[in-house]
Copies of this chain bind each other. A is one copy, B any other.
Amino acid sequence: MKDCIIGVDWGSSSFRAYLLGPDGEILERREAAGGVLRVRGGDFAAALLAEVGDWLKQAPDSLVVMSGMIGSRQGWREIPYVDCPAGPAEVAGGLERVDWGEGEAWIVPGLLDESRPGRPDVMRGEEAQVLGALAQMPPGGGVVCLPGTHSKWVRVVDGVVQGFATYMTGEVYDLLQGHSILGRLMTKGAVNADRWFLDGVALAREGGLLNRLFTARSRVLAGSLPETEVRSYLSGLLIGDELFSALGEEEAEVFLLGAPALTALYEAALGKLGRTAVTLETDAVAAGLYALAQHLRRSEG
């Protein structure tokens, strides 16, 4: 096979790879638990070869393009952030090549938004997802929400990332569940977009998150919240707080990009606030990495 692309979304705790054909079509995909933080001795070349070596045998001239924490200080090489506003050309301009003796491999730079004094923001990996999602959005743009451990809210205008903000929603939920006094009350199971979840979302309107979190305990003690519903209620409190802050006076259309179980919760929460959202294809990162590879090929051709 010729002119293929191997796109890799390599995060702290996850590894997703795509074998893409000359027109960007997904030929094969695979996932592994080999996140950046799990690579033994920092031998990223060996880890990559173990995961995609067979693809390279099939298509030896493939360009490898990698995004995510693989470009951080803890990764293969620290790649400088590109400043916002940034479109595909600016991100492509920040790609850096790594030598690994197996053909051409590049790492995507993260983005830096320094537009708000005292509150700079950074991302690594989501920029490739957002660039790949552009084709699914109207030309004028919108706001892309990528929910997760560190949710990102990304403003896109005319195909260019104007700026973004990070919310530690998923990480704070995990901390509370795993290590807090609230975690002791939480039964196992999935979070549901039920009335308790939506109750949490609505309560977030008044702000004061550090106080609202405690109501997950006091309502149980006062008999107005079943223990089995603490996890959904708490998720609603946190996602609601994120939404009220992120939406603020934002009137642009909201696009959701992430794991289906999570985007479904965000869609329900947005509905509670009277907003609609469009859920994007989760393979957007493959399209983004493909687009960046095309920039490389054009600049080399």
Contacts and interface: CB of A to CB of B under 8 A. Distances in A.
B120 A224 contact: yes
A166 to B, nearest CB: 4
A222 B80 CA distance: 11
A205 B25 CA distance: 48
B242 A203 contact: no
Interface centre among A167, A169, A179, A211 (most CB of B within 10 A): A211
Contact of A209 (B119, B222, B241): B241
Interface residues on A, range: 35 or more
B203 A245 contact: no
A212 to B, nearest CB: 7
15 contacts: A118-B199, A118-B219, A119-B212, A119-B215, A119-B218, A120-B221, A122-B218, A167-B210, A168-B180, A171-B181, A175-B175, A175-B179, A209-B209, A209-B210, A211-B245
Interface of A: 81, 112, 114, 118-122, 150, 165-169, 171-172, 175-176, 178-181, 199, 203, 207-215, 217-219, 221-222, 224, 238, 241-242, 245-246
Given A122-B221, A167-B210, A211-B242, 7 more contacts: A150-B214, A168-B213, A175-B175, A175-B180, A209-B241, A210-B241, A210-B242
